[in-house]
């Protein structure tokens, strides 16, 4: 499931993060790439573990925790500390698949990467190119969202970032280990959650249908979830 999540960050939060990013130390983005990805990756990245990185990552994690749509779609168990990259003119990231396991070198924790997320921090009008291209069963999906908006998609997807031809593209990127490993099962649960919330708003208070569907939702989640 590929899903755009609007307004993860407010305009004020984006401005605050951009100011901090302007003061951050940037390094070659290949420092966090696997062997295959490093061959096609050309961008810059905020130095992992720097004070600026820790503050920025904390802001993103707080915003994600407050976003119900993100929680419903992803059912997060563990979120890898968000990273931050910048693509200047000519920079790109060729076709690749994200590593199945990510290792947090500061805590030693390893997470399985079920879901990938890109949180855009630059308005589309400020740069040309830079689309995130995700390949799925319906073909190529090109994503270029307003600043503060995010997209989540299966980490199993082949994807790339188109070359920048004007301006710079800044974003946060990270991975999530979901309580529900299978993307198809997560999609079914998300669709059911959306339908339940629609019924709750459309039906009179106390109607039994939303309660019955909520029971089905949680019993499916109980069957499929790994919460450890």
Q: What is the pLDDT of residues 104-122, one digit of tens each?
A: 988 999 999 999 999 999 9
- Look at the block and give the residue holding tokens 């997320």: 117
Q: What is the mean pLDDT of the chain?
A: 95
Q: Give percent of the chain with pLDDT exceeding 90.
A: 88
pLDDT value at residue 205: 85
pLDDT of residue 228: 78
Question: Given this model, what pLDDT does residue 34 score?
Answer: 67
Residues in the chain: 228
183-224: CATH architecture: Irregular (4.10)
Ranges of CATH 4.10.860 domains, the chain: 183-224
Helices and strands (H, E) in the chain, number of each type: 6, 17
What is the spatial distance between Cα 21 and Cα 34, in angstroms, rounded to a whole number?
A: 24
Report the candidate in 217, 118, 105 with the shortest Cα–Cα distance to residue 176: 118
Task: Give the torsion sign (CA, 18, 37, 110, 3).
Answer: positive
> Among 66-70, 81-85, 204-208, which stretch is predicted with the lowest mean pLDDT?
204-208
Please tell me the predicted confidence (pLDDT) of residue 176: 98
Confidence of residue 134 (pLDDT cuts 50, 70, 90): very high
- Tell me the average pLDDT across 31-41: 76
Q: At the topology level of CATH, where does 3-178 sit? A: Jelly Rolls (2.60.120)
* DSSP, res 8: S
**Burial grade of 217 (CB within 10 A; 0-12, 13-18, 19 or more):** middle
Structure confidence at residue 31 as a pLDDT band (50, 70, 90): confident
All CATH 2.60.120.620 domain ranges in the chain, comma separated? 3-178
DSSP string covering 160-197: EEPPEEEE-EEEEEEEEEESS--HHHHHHHHHHHHHHH
Residue 33 has pLDDT above 80, yes or no: no
Residue pLDDT, tens place only, 77-99: 999 999 999 999 999 999 999 99
């Amino acid at each position: 499931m590929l899903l755009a999540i609007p307004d993860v960050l407010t305009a004020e939060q984006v401005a605050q993060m951009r100011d901090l990013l302007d003061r951050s130390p940037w390094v070659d983005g290949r420092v966090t790439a696997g062997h295959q990805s490093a061959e096609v990756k050309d961008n810059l990245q905020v130095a992992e573990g720097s004070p600026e990185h820790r503050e920025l990552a904390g802001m993103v994690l707080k915003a994600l925790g407050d976003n119900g749509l993100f929680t419903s779609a992803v059912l997060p168990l563990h979120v890898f500390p968000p990273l931050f990259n910048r693509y200047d003119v000519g920079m790109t990231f060729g076709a690749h698949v994200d590593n199945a396991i990510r290792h947090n070198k500061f805590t030693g924790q390893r997470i399985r990467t079920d879901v990938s997320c890109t949180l855009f921090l630059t308005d589309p009008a400020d740069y040309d190119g830079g689309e995130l291209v995700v390949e799925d069963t319906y073909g190529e999906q090109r994503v270029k969202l307003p600043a503060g908006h995010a997209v989540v998609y299966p980490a199993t997807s082949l994807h790339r970032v188109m070359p920048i031809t004007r301006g710079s593209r800044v974003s946060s990127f990270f991975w999530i280990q979901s309580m529900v490993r299978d993307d198809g099962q997560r999609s079914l649960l998300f669709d059911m959650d959306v339908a339940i919330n629609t019924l709750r708003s459309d039906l009179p208070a106390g109607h039994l249908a939303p309660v019955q569907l909520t029971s089905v939702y949680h019993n499916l989640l109980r069957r499929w979830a790994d919460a450890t």
